[in-house]
A and B are shown apart, each in its own frame.
Chain A
């Protein structure tokens, strides 16, 4: 077994991104869609850290800083998204995104 290189990290984060995309596109439950979005954000953060680690050194920790800010923004997004899920559930008594279609033309 060889030591992990940058392409292996990128492939893993691509796989994680696509699993998140799968969850966001194919499930009908709103919470699954949020989980998929969070997974895609985590994959993007992994990409940033991998590029920072394999980039020219010593470098300013730009990848690390971007990942920290992305984690903070993902937390805000999760809080608002879950509050939206609760509000939609109160109104429609369901969390199935296919049934929440009142605005559909």
Chain B
């Protein structure tokens, strides 16, 4: 694994995530969110899970980010969203971060060396999906259908 690429992707992802959480303009925040998710996909590529990285780009950047931008445009109103910022959330987030970092540093079993050349092929994923993961796959299909119908029902115009 290339350490320079890792460092670059880490800085890009985390700064884009901070921008997505803190920017005032909603559209800017949504675009920073898309950049952060591209960074996560780059991590997947770096870790040898190319297919998951591609799925991440397709689903998140291609669908979810576009959906968020559409929703922002549909729900935009005249006054700009310069509303308050809840500072207790910052305290809670920092506390959770400190606890997680403490737990990671205190676990010596995590310091294992990566074996070189580990990757997963699309063929392996397809065979796993069709053998061990058939029932989860069917359940996800059902869930996606239900979510699609539910989203349509929710945004239907109410008859008065």
Contacts and interface: CB of A to CB of B under 8 A. Distances in A.
Interface residues of A, number: 74
Contacts of A38: 33, 37, 60, 64
Nearest to B137: A69
Contact of B40 (A26, A42, A93): A42
Contact of A80 (B48, B68, B150): B150
Contact of A39 (B36, B72, B155): B36
Contacts, number: 241
B18 A19 contact: yes
Interface centre among B132, B151, B155 (most CB of A within 10 A): B151
Interface of B: 1, 3-4, 6-7, 10, 13-14, 17-18, 20-21, 26, 29-30, 33, 36-37, 40, 43-44, 46-49, 51-52, 55-56, 59-60, 63-64, 67-68, 70-72, 74-75, 77, 81, 83-90, 92-94, 96-97, 100-101, 104-105, 110-115, 118, 120, 124-125, 128-129, 132-133, 136, 140, 143-144, 146-148, 150-152, 154-155
